[in-house]
Amino acid sequence: MIIKKNHYLFFGFIITALVLSIAIIGFFWTPNNPNAIDSSNRFASPSTKYPLGTDNFGRCILSRVVEGIGATVLVAVFTLIIGFGVGLIIGTLTGYYGGWVDELLMRSGDVVMAFPSILLALVFISITGTGRYNVIIALGVLFIPSFARVVRGEFVRIRELDFVHSAKIMGAGPLRIMLVHILPNAIPVLLRFLAIGFNNAVLAEASMSYLGLGVQPPDSSLGRLLSDSQPFLFTAPWYALSAGVAIVLLILGFSLISEGIVLPRSE
Partner 1 sequence: MTLKYILKRVGVFVVTLFVISTLAFIAFSIIPGDPVTRMLGMNASEERIVEMRSELGLDKPIHTRFFKWLQSFVTGDFGKSYSYSIPVRELLSDKVLTTASLSLMAFVFVLAISMPLGLLLSRYSIISSKGAKSSFQRAIISAATALNQIIMSIPPFFTGIIITYVFGLILRFFTPGAFVPYSGNPAAFYAYLIFPALSIALPRSAMVIKLIRGSVLNEAGSDYVRTAYSRGGGQWYVLLVHIMRNALIPVINFLAMTLSDIVAGSIIIEQVFAIPGMGRLLLLSISNRDYPVVQTIVVIIASVVVILNLLADVICQYIDPRIRIT
Partner 2 sequence: MFAFFIGRVYHVLTRVPPYGGCEVQYEGESSKMKHARRTIVVLLCVTMLLLMVAGCNRNEPQESQTQTESPDTTEPVRDDIVIGIAQDIDVSLDPHLMTSAASRAVLFNVFEGLVKPTPEGFLAPAVASSFEISESGDTFTFTLRDNILFHNGEPVTAQDVVYSISRVSGFYNDGTALIPAFSIVESVTAEDENTIVIKTTVPNIEFLSFLTAAIIPENYDAQETAPVGTGPYMYVSRSPQENLIFEKFDDYWGDVPSITHVTYRILDNTEALMMALRSGTVDFCSHLMSSQMAELQGLGYNFEIGTMNLVQAVYLNNAVAPFDNVEVRRALAHAINRSEIMDVLADGLGVPVGSSMYPAFSKYFTAELADYYDYDPQKAKSLLSEAGYPDGFTMEIVVPSNHGPHIDTATVVVEQLREIGVTATIRLVEWSTWIDDTYRGRNFEATVVGVDASAMTARAMLERFSSTNGSNFINFSNAEYDEVFAAAISATNDEDQVLLYKELELILTQQAANLYIQDLCDIIAINEDISGFEFYPLFVEDLARLYYK
| Contact flag: residue 48 with partner 2 (CB under 8 A) | no
Q: Does 117 bind partner 1 (CB under 8 A)?
A: yes
Query: Which one of partner 1, partner 2, none is in contact with 169 (Cβ closer than 5 to 8 A by kind)?
Result: none
- Please report how close the Cβ of residue 108 comes to partner 2 at its closest, in angstroms: 28
Does 238 bind partner 2 (CB under 8 A)? Our answer is no
Check binding of 120 to partner 2 (CB under 8 A): no
Q: Is 150 in the site for partner 1 (CB under 8 A)?
A: yes
As a whole number of angstroms, the longest Cα–Cα distance in the chain is 77
Q: Which stretch binds partner 1 (CB under 8 A): 20-28, 50-58, 117-125, 172-180?
A: 117-125
Segment 6 to 45, residues that bind partner 1, using CB under 8 A: 7-8
User: How would you classify residue 99: left for phi > 0, otherwise alpha for psi between -120 and 50, otherwise beta?
Assistant: left
- Which of the residues 153 through 182 are near partner 1 (CB under 8 A)? 153-154, 156-157, 160
- The interaxial angle of helices 237-261 and 222-229, nearest 10 deg, is 140
Please choose which of partner 2, partner 1, none residue 259 contacts, taking the beta carbon within 5 to 8 angstroms, the exact cut-off set by kind: partner 1
Instruction: Sketch the per residue contact string, 85 through 114, with partner 1: x for CB under 8 A, - otherwise.
Output: -------------x----x---x--xx-xx
Backbone angles phi, psi at 127, to 5 degrees: -85, -45
Query: Which long-range CB contacts under 8 A does 21-27 form with residues at least 24 apart?
Result: 22/66, 22/69, 23/66, 23/69, 23/70, 23/73, 24/70, 25/66, 26/63, 26/66, 26/67, 26/69, 26/70, 27/70
CA–CA distance, 140 with 186 (Å, rounded to integer): 22
Smallest gap from residue 51 Cβ to partner 2 (A): 18
Task: Give min distance, CB of 213 to partner 1, in A.
Answer: 11
Which listed residue (20, 86, 89, 122) binds partner 1 by CB under 8 A?
Answer: 122
Burial 156-195 (b: 16+ CB within 10 A, else e): bebbeeeebeebeeeeeeeeebbeebbbeebebbbbbbbb
Residue ranges in contact with partner 2 by CB under 8 A: 35-37, 39-40, 42-43, 56-58, 122, 126, 129-130, 211-213, 216-218, 230-236
